[in-house]
Amino acid sequence: MDYLEIEGGSPLCGEVCIQGSKNAALPILSAAVLNHGITVLKNCPKIIDVKNMLEILIGFGCKVNWEGDTLIIDATVMNSNQVAACYARQMRSSIMLLGSLLGRTGTATLPYPGGCVIGERPIDLHIEALRKMGAELEEKGEGLCACCKKPQSSRVCLPFPSVGATENVILLAVLAKGVTILNNAAREPEIEELCRFLSCMGAKIQGAGTSQITITGVETLHDVEFTIVSDRIVAGTYMLMTAAAGGRVILNNPPLQQLGAVYGALRCMGVHCKECGEHLLLWRTERMKGLKGIRTEPYPGFPTDLQSPLMAALALAEGESEIEETIFEARFKIVEELLRMGADICTEGQKAYIRGVRKLYGADLIAKELRGGAALVLAAAAAEGKSRILQYHYIERGYENIIRDLQSLGVMVKKNIG
Ligand code: EPZ
C-alpha cells in the first residue's frame, strides 16, 4: 500500500507558491465546451480532478495539450456528448458538464457524479433549476439523460445557494435566448472566476459574487486566454498548518481577497498574518488559543473545505474549541484518526468539541477524502514523531504536489511505494 511518511514536530520555515484553484478550474474546463474554438488556460492546477475532466473533454472529441504550464483546449469539433463514466464517477464536478453540454449540443447523457464520502450530495437543485430553464431531464438507473433544444428566459431561485447548481444555471444560460435571472445564487469566489472567464469569452453576465446573477444570452462565444486565480483552500490549508506547527511561513500569490474568514479565525487563535504585496507572511509566537462558535457557512462564511484542517489545528490549541459543520452531513471523518494521535475530540451530530492537548504523536493514519486527508498531513507535520498516511491519492485530487510544498516548508516527508 502506498503511503506518505512524515516526520513532524519542527516549526515550519520557508515559502510555498499557491497553485491554481481546483474549484475554479473545474467549472472553467466545463465552460470551455461552450466555445467552438480555442481556450488557453494558465495556472491550471495539475491535479487528478483536472486530469479526469480533461479525459472527459477528450472523449467528446476535444483536443487537449499541455505546453509547459499552459493548457490548450480545442473544442472546435465535438463528435460526442457522452460523459465517460470511469472518469465522471471519480469526482463531483462532472455534474457541471450538464449545463455546458446542454448549452452546446442541446442534449447530455451523464452518470451520477462521484466525489468524496462527505455527504449524500444529491443533485435535485441542479435538476429543478435546469427544468425551470426548459430542460427535460430523466433520471435513468446509473445516470441522467437531458435535453434542452431551446433554453428559455427564466427566473430561477435556488432553495440553497448551491455552488454547482449556480454554475450549471450560468453554463446553460450564457448561450440561451433572452435573459436568465438567478436568485439565491452562490457567492463563492469560484462563481466570480467562472463568470470572469465566460465574460472574457464574450458572455454577458452581471452580479457575479452576489446573490442575484443576471445572464443575457449571446449567439456565440470566442477564443480566450485566461489565468486562473490561486486556490483559497490550499492557501488556507498552509495557513492553518503554520498555526498548528508554528514557525514562519511565506505564502506566494495567495488569493488575499478571498481569505477573510480564515484571517478572522487565525487572528483569534493568536496567529499573526501580514500581507506583503502579493505575499502573505504568517508566524506564531505563543501557543494557539482555542476557538468557540465557529460554524461553516456559504461564502463569505468560514469554508466547509477548511473545517477539517481547522479541527486538526485546534487539537493543539489551548483550552476548548467548538466547530459546527452546516454544509455537509458527514465531514467529521478525521476525528478517529486524530484521536489515534492523542487528540481529545468528541462529536455530537454536526458539532465537534475539541479540548486542546500539548502534543499530538505520529501514528498510522488513513485518508478517506480530499480535505480530511490534507488535515491529516497538517496534523502529522505538527505531531511529534513519524506518521504514515495511507490512501493519500485522495489528497492528490486537489493538491498539485503536497510533497513539494511540505519540503519547501522544511517538513521531512517522503512517498513510500509499499
Ligand atoms: C462545491 O461542491 C465544491 N466542489 C466543494 O468542494 C465545496 O465544499 C462546496 O462547493 C461548498 O462550498 C467543487 O467546486 C468541485 P454545493 P458542490 O452544491 O457544488 C447540498 C472540495 O473539497 N446540495 O454548494 O457539490 C449538498 O449536499 C469540494 O474541493 C443538495 O442538497 O456544493 C451540500 O450539503 C468538497 N442538492 C450543500 O448543498 C443539490 O442539488 C452544498 O453543496 C446540490 C447540493
DSSP 282-300: EEESSPPBP--SEEB-STT
Active site residue 13: no
pLDDT value for 371: 97
Does the pLDDT at position 381 exceed 90?
yes
Q: Residue 230 above 90 pLDDT?
A: yes
Give pLDDT, residue 116. Answer: 61
pLDDT at site 87: 86
* Cβ(237) – ligand 1 distance below 6 Å: no
What value does the mean pLDDT take over residues 99-105? 96
Question: What pLDDT score does 113 carry?
Answer: 79
Q: Which residue has the cell 463514466?
A: 85
Residue in 224, 248, 251 with CA at minimum distance from that of residue 236:
251
Sorting pLDDT into bands at 50, 70 and 90, what band is 115?
low
Q: What residue owns the CA closest to ligand 1's atom 7?
A: 305
Q: Can you read off the three cell numbers belonging to residue 356?
A: 486542546
What is the average per-residue pLDDT within 197-214?
98
Mean pLDDT of the chain: 95
Q: Taking residues 398-404, report their average pLDDT.
A: 96
Helix 232-245 / helix 307-314 crossing angle, nearest 10 deg:
0
Identify whether the C-beta of residue 235 lies closer than 8 Å to the C-beta of residue 273: no
Contact (Cβ atoms closer than 8 angstroms) between residue 209 and residue 164: no
Query: Ligand 1: which residue has its CA nearest to atom 25?
Result: 164
Judge if the beta carbon of residue 122 lies within 6 A of ligand 1: yes
| pLDDT on residue 166 | 98
Residue closest to 113 by CA, chosen among 181, 42, 64, 162 = 162
Q: Assess contact for 24 and 229: CB atoms under 8 A.
A: yes
How far is the C-alpha of 99 from the C-alpha of 21, rounded, in Å?
21
Is the pLDDT confidence value at 121 over 90? no
Q: Which of 49, 96, 163 to mutate to test the pocket of ligand 1 (most atoms within 8 A of CB)?
A: 163
The pTM (predicted TM-score) of the whole model is: 0.97
CA of 115 to the centre of ligand 1 (A): 10
Residue 343 has pLDDT above 70, yes or no: yes
Q: What is the pLDDT of residue 96?
A: 92
pLDDT at 153: 85
> CA-CA distance, 167 to 26, in Å (whole number)?
10
What is the C-alpha to C-alpha distance for residues 152 and 80, in angstroms, rounded to an integer?
Answer: 24
Q: What is the mean pLDDT of residues 252-274?
A: 96
**CA-proximal residue: ligand 1, atom 30 (nearest):** 122
Ligand 1 centre and the CA of 233: distance in Å?
14
> In b/e form, how buried is each residue of 283-311, taking b as 16+ CB within 10 angstroms?
bbeeebebbeebbbebbeebbbbbbbbbb
Residue 349 has pLDDT above 90, yes or no: yes
Q: Which residue in the list 116, 148, 195, 273 is annotated as catalytic?
A: 116
pLDDT at residue 418 in the model = 67
Q: What pLDDT is stored for residue 88 in this prediction?
A: 83
53 within 8 A of 24, measured Cβ to Cβ: no
Confidence of residue 91 (pLDDT cuts 50, 70, 90): confident
Domains in the chain, CATH or no CATH each:
3-19+230-416 (3.65.10.10), 22-227 (3.65.10.10)
pLDDT above 80 for 1: no
Distance CA 50, CA 66 (A): 12
Nearest CA to ligand 1 atom 6: 305
Mean pLDDT, residues 209-232: 98
Q: Tell me, using a 6 A CB cutoff, whether residue 130 lines ligand 1.
A: no
Q: Where does residue 179 rank: exposed (0-12), middle (13-18), buried (19+ CB within 10 A)?
A: middle
Q: With pLDDT > 70 as the criterion, what percentage of the chain qualifies?
A: 99
Output the CA 329–ligand 1 centroid distance in Å.
11
